[in-house]
Amino acid sequence: VQLQASGGGLVKPGGSLRLSCAASAFSLDYYSIGWFRQAPGKEREGVSCISSGRRTFYADSAEGRITVSIDKVKNTVFLQMNSLKPEDTAVYYCAARPGVVVTTALESYEYEHWGQGTQVTVSS
């Protein structure tokens, strides 16, 4: 199981970014993908999850601004982030866990496989 996160960068407040999480050596039909972030000096927190059953979950801080989606052909999960704020600045990670997610979607300890992070910086 391998995950490759990309798409981070520097963006001004109010701007948008789309992060990608490319999965290899496993099918997203059988794994759920979570997005997490960690800001300097802070604990890792869950942002969003798309279950293998295609149900989606969002942190309160992400609701209405962030959308998670999947491209089955590309075996890739996307995190579209709009109306970005400076407090969204963090390293963003994608992670995988087998099966359908019903609860604990944003709990990092439930995820078995992690990709490397991609830096998102929101600053004017």
What is the average pLDDT across 52-70?
93
CA distances (Å), origin 83, targets 16, 27, 62, 69: 6, 31, 10, 18
What is the average pLDDT across 45-50?
96
pLDDT at 31 over 90: yes
| Percent share of the chain, pLDDT over 90 | 83
What residues contact residue 71 under an 8 Å CB cut-off, 6+ apart?
Answer: 77, 78
CA distance 32 to 53: 8
Q: What is the pLDDT of residue 19?
A: 98
Q: What is the pLDDT of residue 25?
A: 87
Beta bridge partners of 58: 48
63-107 tens-digit pLDDT: 899 999 999 899 999 999 999 999 999 999 999 999 888 888 899
